[in-house]
Amino acid sequence: MIEQNPVKWESMRKALRAKIGSMLPPDLRERLRKRFPADPSAPPVGHVRWGDLRRTAPISRNLWDRGLPIDRYYIESFLAANAGDVAGRVLEVKDNTYTRRFGGTRVTNSDVLDVNPANPHATIVADLNAAGNLPGNAFDCIIITQTLQYVFDVASAIEELHRSLKPGGALLATVPGITPIDQELRDSTYWTFTDRSMRRLFEHHFPLTHLTVVSHGNVLSAVASLQGLSVDDLRPEELSPCDADFAVVITVRATKP
Ligand SMILES: C[S@@+](CC[C@H](N)C(=O)[O-])C[C@H]1O[C@@H](n2cnc3c(N)ncnc32)[C@H](O)[C@@H]1O
């Protein structure tokens, strides 16, 4: 029996396709290329069935009106996986929802940081753009979810967060990759990120042995997120595969030696 090697057959198929293509007149080659895409599982050009997604405005602009937003699935899965870090004196931005939810009774002190002095939950009002505003070597854990995109001087913010972490403390950060911009925060939204930019920014302060940067999401969940869909619009097996070329959220766990 002849053993079939799928990789070999695929490269032979591609080579044959290129060879036949090179022998055809250019206009016929172009028509065939559109009718028969290189990937046999892809619909021919012009035959994609867009259905409900054929619209130039998203299905929803309100992040929460269909349920848990897609990015929150990845953010909360990351925090659940690292819940053991949420202990002792914990700093979170805006409110302490995740401190309480993932730290529970392990948390001895809960602080909330905000640049906005009108935030009633804030125990520390400080701007992460400037150095020296946070207490030094103070926190066992810092939870900074979906915030660094609003800080123009993101490198200074990471330096400041590192300075305020206790030796042995853990920083849990999430940032957006492919994302819609929150209408309410459009004027203060500066960045989206990649796993590369996160690694470069954090490795400046944290040794690579103490740093884990992971991309979450895939092309389907990225499209769903851009359309304002929720986790209930997708199946679990559609949310969980991660393709770093289509990151919806990038997570960083960094510990201070
Ligand atoms: C969308 S919330 C993110 C935090 C929230 N816990 C979450 O998970 O969605 C963004 C928060 O970052 C704060 N913020 C924006 N720029 C900041 C800065 N330069 N320094 C400190 N906080 C800032 C905003 O005021 C807001 O409370």
The confidence band for 40, taking pLDDT boundaries of 50, 70 and 90, is confident
User: Could you identify the residue written with the tokens 């990789």?
Assistant: 7
Helices 195-203 and 154-164 pack at an angle, to 10 degrees, of 50
Q: Are residues 83 and 193 in the same domain?
A: yes
Q: Is 63 in the pocket of ligand 1 (CB under 6 A)?
A: no
| Shared domain check, 197 and 78 | yes
Question: What are the pLDDT digits (tens) for 113-143?
Answer: 999 999 999 999 999 999 899 999 999 999 9
Mean pLDDT in residue range 101-113? 98
Do 147 and 20 have their domain in common? no
pLDDT tens sequence across 53-65: 999 999 999 989 9
Q: Which of 79, 49, 74 is nearest to 241 (CA)?
A: 74
**How many CB atoms lie under 10 A from the CB of residue 61?**
13
Give the residue numbers spanning the domain of 26: 6-49
Asked if residue 107 and residue 44 are part of one domain, the reply reads no
Give me the mean pLDDT over the 26-31 stretch. Answer: 83
Integer Cα distance of 128 and 130 in angstroms: 5
Position 115 in a domain = yes
Whether 42 is in a domain gets the answer yes
For the entire predicted model, the pTM comes to 0.90
Candidate from 114, 145, 160, 183 with most ligand 1 atoms within 8 A of CB, to mutate:
114
